[in-house]
Amino acid sequence: MQPKVKKNLLTTSAHIGLLIASAFFLVPFLWMVSTSLKPVTQIFTYPPEFIPNPFQWSNYIEATEYIPFFTYLSNTAIITVLSTIGVMLSCPLVAYSFAKLEWTGRNTMFIITIAVMMIPMQVTMIPLFLLFNKVGWVGTPLPLIVPAFFGVPFSIFLMRQFFMGLPNTLRDAAKIDGASEFRIYWQIMLPLAKPAVLAVGLFQFMNVWTDFIGPLLYLTDESQYTLSLGLQQFQSQKGTEWGLMMAVSTMMTLPIIILFFFMQRTFIQGITFSGIK
């Protein structure tokens, strides 16, 4: 009886703590949604009003007509999905070699991997552009997709940390059984690192989905534009169409929210359920 009461108390207090904290974290999102439903005159009132009056659902329709929303959406989706696949294929593989394999030059390579993140992209983006320009990739989505298949330092580093944390016993056992290195990776280690692979995929998805500077530089035809470029079109010299802009922002965030909602389950399943025994 005692432990049960204690447990109930714990869950109740957890709920209360979570509820209070969530209120704080929910504000920006709610604000975005509420702005997306407000008529122009109500957006900036003092003190701010949270509930739209009346609910202007037409903002959403207007927003999708103001910019070619569905074209931009499918462009964004194609680029994002492909580059996410790229990262999820390449990064765990590379990270595995950094974490579990021993090879000459490994540590030097790893240090270089970390080091390339320390130079701000503001100075490297021009030479990179010139490179892509020379091979005629400017004006195509290729520069936004192809590099992901060769690995992204952030994701490699993250995956490496996860592989380092996995016990070696399984690997050794498989080795004795004569399994090839790739088989060990593919059939044993990769499934164990599933939460991390998904996290890496999610981050890549988010980053590419909202990336602004990449599409700005490399896409030259309006029919190729992405949503983050479309978002800018609501800002003009005469002011910003906040309601419409927030409507698009809201629609932009929904796919990630849904993705995250379904993905986060794998975190809690964790290692005990992925067949370590």
Partner 1 sequence: MKKMEQSDQALVEEGMEASIKKKSKISGSSINGWLFASPWVIGLILFYAFPLFSSIYYSFTTYSILSPGEFIGFSNYKQLMVDGIFWKSIYNTVYFAIFFVPLSIIIGVALAMLLNMRVKGMAVYRTIFFLPTLVPHVALAVLWMWLLNPGFGLVNGVLDAIGLTGPNWLGSVTWSKPSLILMSLWAIGQPVIIYLAGLGDIPQELYEAADVDGASWLQKTFKVTLPLLTPVIFFNLVMGAIGAFQQFTLPYTMTQGQGTPDNSLTFYVMYLYDNAFKYSKMGYASAMAWILFIVIMLLTAVIFISSKRWVHYQGK
Partner 2 sequence: MSNSIFHKLMFSFCLVLVMVLAACSSDDEASESASGENTVEFWHSMTDTAGDAVEQVIEEFEKEYPDIDIKATYVANQGEGQNEKLLTAIAGGNPPDVAYFDRFEVATWAAEGSLESLTDLAEEAGISKDDYYDFAWDELIYEGDLYGIPTTTDSRLLFYNRDHFEEVGLDPENPPTTIDELEEAAEKLTIKDGNRFERIGFIPWFAQGSFYSWGWSFGGDFYDPETGEVTADDPKNVEALEWITEFGKKYGVEDIAGFTDSQGSGAMDPFVSGQISMKIDGNFGVASLEKFAPDLNYGVTPIPTPTGDNFKTWSGGWSVVIPKGANNQDGAWEFLKFFGSEEGQKIFSEGSRDFSVIDSVNESLGYTDDPIFSEFINILPESNSRPVMTAGSLYWNALADAVESSTRENGTPKENLEEVTQRVTEALEE
For partner 2, the binding residues in 216-235 under the rule CB under 8 A are 216-217, 220-222, 229, 232-235
Q: To the nearest whole angstrom, how small is the minimum distance from the Cβ of residue 35 to partner 2?
A: 11
Token code pair at residue 31: 């604000």
Asked if residues 240 and 74 have their Cβ atoms less than 8 Å apart, the reply is no
> How far apart are the C-alpha atoms of 164 and 231, rounded to whole Å?
41
Check binding of 175 to partner 1 (CB under 8 A).
Answer: no
Among residues 24, 51, 108, 238, the one that binds partner 2 under rule CB under 8 A: 238
Check binding of 276 to partner 1 (CB under 8 A).
Answer: yes
Check binding of 28 to partner 2 (CB under 8 A).
Answer: no
- For residue 68, report the phi and psi dihedrals to the nearest 5 degrees: -70, 75
Find all residues with CB under 8 Å of 159, minimum gap 6, and list them.
91, 92, 94, 95, 96, 99, 193, 196, 197, 200
Q: Using CB under 8 A, which of the segments 105-113, 198-206, 212-220, 258-266 binds partner 2?
A: 212-220
Check binding of 271 to partner 1 (CB under 8 A).
Answer: yes
**DSSP per-residue letters across 2-51:** HHHHHHHHHHHHHHHHHHHHHHHHHHHHHHHHHHHTS-HHHHT-SSPP-S
Q: Which is nearer to partner 1, 107 or 220 (CB)?
A: 107
Residues making contact with partner 2 (CB under 8 A) = 40-41, 43-44, 46, 125-126, 129-140, 142, 146, 212-213, 216-217, 220-222, 229, 232-242
